[in-house]
Structure 1
Amino acid sequence: MIDHALSSDIYTIVSSIPKGHVLSYADVARLSGKCGPRQVGRILHHNPDNSKVPCHRVVHEDGTLAPAFAFGGEDTQRRKLKHEGVLFRGARVHMQKSRWKTSFS
């Protein structure tokens, strides 16, 4: 069952992540206060409008990219993030430098 209110909350949080920054699935879950990181991933995987909700800005806690990124795969996600100025350390996002600083950080 899809919780449309929760999905809307998650999409709002993700839409607020500025270019050049990322949050982890766990970060988004903490900001929502309503679910866990896996549920965030499921919701983002079913995002109806990738042009408005930048799901590519959500990565794993350790900076790894989503292997099954819903909109083109890991290479597409990496390319989009690099284009926006997100810093990488090897194959992972450099979380210390690229994580969006929010009230929980």
Structure 2
Amino acid sequence: MTLAESIYKLCKQIPKGKISTYKELGKTLNIKAYQAIGRALKKNPDPENTPCFKIIKSNGEIGGYAGKITGKKIEEKIKRLKSEGIEIKQGKIELSKYLHRFDN
């Protein structure tokens, strides 16, 4: 399984109403190549079934989506997060409330 496939598999495990971070994905995969994780998510071939919008920065900020950090794609990410009941306050998500940790 490629790194990208492993990342997509983990994204599919995140329950509705939860998020994860680039760092959590890295810890689970035993890598610190967070930029590689971001690149794989940017190239997600099936965003409807692989919910990469649920991956945010480890400081709670929304982060990028589909290779963008502003504009319509970020608005779409925020809309999708909110549609799952995830609250965003001052551009951040409360990790203690919404973070999904993977079983290693």
Q: TM-score, normalised by structure 2?
A: 0.85
Match for residue 29 of structure 1? 26
Matches within 5 A, 1:1-105: 5-67=2-64, 69-70=65-66, 72-103=72-103
Q: Deviations over 1:49-99 (max 9, x none)?
A: 1111100000011111124x1185211111100110112222111111111
Question: Pairwise CA RMSD of aligned residues?
Answer: 1.8
What is the alpha-carbon distance in structure 1 between the residues aligned to residue 49 and residue 32 of structure 2? 22
The count of aligned residue pairs is: 100
Structure 2: give runs of 5+ residues left out of the alignment.
none
Structure 1: 4+ residue segments shifted above 3 A: 101-104
What is the alpha-carbon distance in structure 1 between the residues aligned to residue 101 and residue 9 of structure 2? 17
What is the alpha-carbon distance in structure 1 between the residues aligned to residue 88 and residue 95 of structure 2? 8
What is the alpha-carbon distance in structure 1 between the residues aligned to residue 32 and residue 8 of structure 2? 13
